[in-house]
Each structure stands twice: as C-alpha cells, then as structure tokens.
A and B are shown apart, each in its own frame.
Chain A
Amino acid sequence: MNRIAMAALAALTAAAGLGPAQAGSEDVVVENAWARATIGTARPGAAYLTLRNAGDATLTLTGVAASAAARAEIHRSVTDEKGVSSMMPAGEIAVGPGTSVALEPGGLHVMLMGLRSPLDEGDGFELTLTFSDGGEVAVPVAVLGIAARGPGG
C-alpha cells in the first residue's frame, strides 16, 4: 500500500516536471541535448545541452540524474593560460532571465559515471534536471557517434 502510494507520488512528480505546473522551471527550454557514444561502461561518458531561461527570474540548476548512469554530475573543464586542462564539479548553475548557458565540449558538461550499459550511437536516454524551485525537467538525449563534435554530429 505504502509502496503503491510512493510510486503514485513519484509518477505525479515526474509528470509535474514535464508539464507547466512548477513555478520557475517551466520557463526552462532545453535544446540540443546530445551525448558521445562510449566504448563499454568502464569509462565515464559526457552529455551536452543548452539551457535557456525564457522566464523573468534567475533559474538555478541544482542537480542532474541520468537513466543511463548510476550517477551524473555537472562538471567543468577549464584550460589555464599554460594550456593545462583539468576538470572539476561545477556546483550549481545559475541561468539569468532571458539568457542561455551552453554545456558544450571543453566547458560545462554532464559527466555520466557508472554507465548501466554502453552508450551506442543512435540510442537515447533521459536526463532529469532539478532546479532550485524543486521543479524537474526531463530531457531526451540523443547518443551521437564517438567522434561527434557537436549536436549536429
């Protein structure tokens, strides 16, 4: 009984995330979501997308989950003036009203850890973005080839 109620609640929450019921996160427009194919599951994958805030208040992305991975985090690759690149958790991402934040190769990206199965070209999976207002947005992600350089392949 309890389990059924929980499942129903989860389903409702998921449905609410997709619809315009939440304050704030309904103004998020997610575009060009893609990920690179991986070979096997031992190494982490990366997904990219553009977040556009069509509303009039700042939106903050606080968390991300992926159906394809045990764990997903927003990471940032940075390259310093000596040409040394490294990567670190990016924390929360604020998107100002009317602006966009791009998660793209060499910068912000969703790091996918503990892949449940290899990401094969042509497949897809779902990312769930959580915002500071508690709203969730489900994003379908297309898996492109391993040598893809952007959402167009």
Chain B
Amino acid sequence: MKMARTIAWSLVGLAVLAFGASWLWTDRRGGGPGDPAFAAAFELTDHSGMIRTQEDFAGRWMLVFFGFANCPDVCPTTLAEVAAVMDGLDEDAGRVQPLFISIDPERDTPTALAAFVPAFGADIVGLTGTPEQIARTADGFHIYYEKVEEAAAPGGYTMGHSSQLFLFGPEAGYVRSWPYGTLAEEILADLKEHLAS
C-alpha cells in the first residue's frame, strides 16, 4: 500500500517535471510559425558589406527566403518570383523589403552575393555571415539546411534547405509563409491584401 502510494507520487512528480521541461523548452525556443511571439531576428552582413539587423527594416514588411548562390534551380527561381512580386506591387514596393539569406556561408561571401543577388533587381538584399551567425539565424527562423555531397558541384557539395517564402510585418512579427512553387501572382494578391489591411 505504502509502496503503491510512493509510486503514484513519483509518477505525479515525473509528470510535473516533464510538463515543466516541455514548457521551458517551447518558451526558450520561442515557438515557431504557430507562436504569436515568432518574429524575424538576425544580425548578418549584407551584400555591400554592411551589418544589418531586422531593426534596419523596421516599419517595412519583410519578405524573407533562404538559399545559396550556387543553387542553379530553386534559388534563382525564387529570386525571380520575388522580383516579379515586387514589380507587381508598383508604388507599394517601397513598403516591402525582400531579403535573401544565404545558408551557405562558406561560399557565399558578401562579394559573392554582390555578384548574384542584385542581378535579379527589385532591391533584394543578400545577407550572409559566419557559419555560427547563419546557424543562429536558421534557428531563429526555424528553418533547416544541410550540406549534401555532390562531387560535380563547385566545392564538391550542394545544399538542401527550407525553401518557403516568409512574410513578416512592419514590427517584424511573423505573418505567414508560402511554400516553394506558389505562383508569384498568388503571392502578390495575398501580399496586397496584407498591405491594405
């Protein structure tokens, strides 16, 4: 009897510990797209060599996406789609800042990004940093990236990475994301609704 009670209380204790741990865990991780506290946060170097944080873009909506300059298909396609969205905004384009964040810090120096990102027009800012800065940024945005060995690629590797396009509001709070492959026309229509609201 006493033993059963001890076991029962131990189980309660464990449950409390587990609950506390999970609460701490979610709190410290700051949630993710489902969490109202999810916001854009970064300190990186832009393609002109300037240190940038989300505060530099305060008051503007941010379209944020991740990629790498050696990516021949998905990344240029996303850059082209974002450029098309920005063109479609006409006079509202100034209210939105598109940001391309590299997840390949080894190859994507600011100089390498300067020779790639501006070619797409639309004032897209390329951001990169040290491997640690990029890891921290990816953590903050809850995105995933990994090196994939590919003998034929420059440097012997390519990257796998989260490819959605994120929208953050004028106070840097998360608004929504669109999966890769969403048509620019659809993104533009959604974005215009948010800008008008």
Binding site for B on A (CB under 8 A): 36, 39-40, 42-46, 71, 73, 75, 77, 79, 82-88, 105-106, 109, 111-113, 146-149
Contacts and interface: CB of A to CB of B under 8 A. Distances in A.
6 tightest A-B CB contacts, nearest first: A86-B160, A85-B163, A105-B77, A46-B72, A147-B80, A44-B72
A130 B19 CA distance: 61
Given A84-B161, A86-B160, A147-B84, A39 B115 contact: yes
What DSSP secondary structure best describes chain A's contact surface? Answer: strand
Interface stretch (B5-13, B44-52, B90-98, B178-186): B178-186
A106 B162 contact: no
Contacts of B180: 79, 83, 85, 106
B154 A106 contact: no
B116 interface: yes
Interface of B: 69-74, 76-77, 79-81, 83-84, 115-116, 119-121, 144, 146, 148, 150, 152-154, 158-164, 177, 179-181, 184
A146 B115 contact: no
A77 B180 CA distance: 11
Contacts, number: 99
B72 A85 contact: no
Contact of A43 (B148, B154, B159, B163): B154
B163 A84 contact: yes
B123 to A, nearest CB: 13
A146 B152 contact: no
A122 to B, nearest CB: 15
B121 A147 contact: yes
Contacts of A84: 144, 160-163
B80 A113 contact: no
Given A86-B158, A146-B120, A147-B79, 20 more contacts: A36-B80, A43-B70, A44-B154, A46-B72, A71-B152, A79-B163, A83-B162, A84-B162, A85-B160, A85-B180, A87-B160, A106-B73, A106-B181, A111-B152, A147-B80, A147-B83, A148-B80, A149-B80, A149-B81, A149-B84
